[in-house]
Amino acid sequence: MTTDLCIEPPLLVFGGPYSNLRAVTALRARAAELGIPPARCICTGDVVAYCAEPEETTAAIRAWGCHVVAGNCEEQLAAGAQDCACGFEEGSECDRLAKGWYPFANARLSAASRAWMAGLPKTLTFEFAGLEFRVIHGGVDVINRFVFASQRDAIAEELDRAQADVVIAGHAGVPFIEQVGRRVWFNPGVIGMPANDGTADVWYGLIQLDSARLVLSTHRLAYDHLGAAAAMRREGHADGHARTLVTGLWPSLDVFPPPERAATGRRLRPRTLRLPVRIAAETELGLRCA
């Protein structure tokens, strides 16, 4: 596999800032606490969506200097399109809500932010310790495909398409790690909205090296969610997503498969998966990166 990045753990990975400036600020502070520089932080896209500060959040992500792949929102906003192309069923509650937040965001983005979005890659690849990684937004070929933990067949199908040992993906909004055979689908969660588990916390992921094991893990992040909700109210933008920031419950369950729908309000547990690595491959990677 041809690689785009020369990068090695520890890595911080996250999805969906969703115009939530306070969550981005909190995550950047967490990265600093962990000693993880911007070059080792990766976002799976949808920098702009539901919350009140699209331009400010885009500026914060750009200033941070982390790697970002384009989400469907970046693609649509860069093109000046009239909708988010999120993959919501027409007429659903998610679709109705998108007709509110997308025009709000679209009207507030600068030309410079749109140009930055237009230049984002659709995917990023890298290798470490004999494992191949691919970062995408939703699906490999369909950027707005929702992939959830309960959808084992869809995960296996996407892993086949990805041709990678580990796929880091977003879009679905709920963190999970699923292994199919020797390959792994890693959704670290999003930082712009809670994970429908009845808490206001948001989620990110870490990729770390522990002896001869590569460790993938999901982590909670508490932040000023009340301030984020208040910012939406000040802008006259307090739809169901503003309530979600406080209650931790999504305003609609339209996109969920039945198992995820049934888990509404159930507190999520952090997950960890350890993968064996080939130590010899680390030396080869170091030579390529030198």
Looking at domain 11-289, its CATH architecture is 4-Layer Sandwich (3.60)
The model's pLDDT over 54-71, given as tens digits with 9 standing for 90+, comes to: 999 999 999 999 999 999
Q: Which residue has the tokens 């919350």?
A: 51
CB atoms within 10 A of CB 114: 17
Q: Which of 171-180, 233-242, 247-256 bottoms out in mean pLDDT, i.e. has the lowest?
A: 233-242
Distance CA 38, CA 48 (A): 19
CA 281 to chain centre: 28
The yes-or-no verdict on residue 1 having pLDDT over 90 is no
Q: What is the pLDDT, as a whole number, of residue 278?
A: 66
pTM > 0.75? yes
185: which strand partners?
A: 167, 178
Going by their DSSP bridges, the two strands 176-180 and 202-210 should be labelled as unpaired
The share of the chain scoring above pLDDT 90, in percent, equals 83
Average pLDDT over residues 263-280: 89
Which of these ranges, 52-56, 80-84, 278-282, has the smallest mean pLDDT? 278-282
pLDDT at 96: 84
For 242-254, give one letter per residue: b (16+ CB within 10 A) or e: bebbebbbbbbbb
How would DSSP label each residue in the chain?
---S----SSEEEEB--TT-HHHHHHHHHHHHHHT--GGGEEE-S--SSSSS-HHHHHHHHHHHT-EE---HHHHHHHHT-SS----PPTTSHHHHHHHHHHHHHHTT--HHHHHHHHT--S-EEEEETTEEEEE-SS-SS-TT----TT-HHHHHHHHHHHTSSEEE--SS-S-EEEEETTEEEEE--BSSS--SSSSS-EEEEEEEEETTEEEEEEEEE---HHHHHHHHHHTT--SHHHHHHHH---S--TT--HHHHHTTTPPPPP-EEEEE--HHHHHHHHHHH-
**What does the domain layout of the chain look like in residue ranges?**
11-289
Assign 280 a pLDDT band (cuts: 50, 70, 90): very low
Over residues 131-189, the pLDDT tens digits come to 999 999 999 999 999 999 999 999 999 999 999 999 999 999 999 999 999 999 999 99
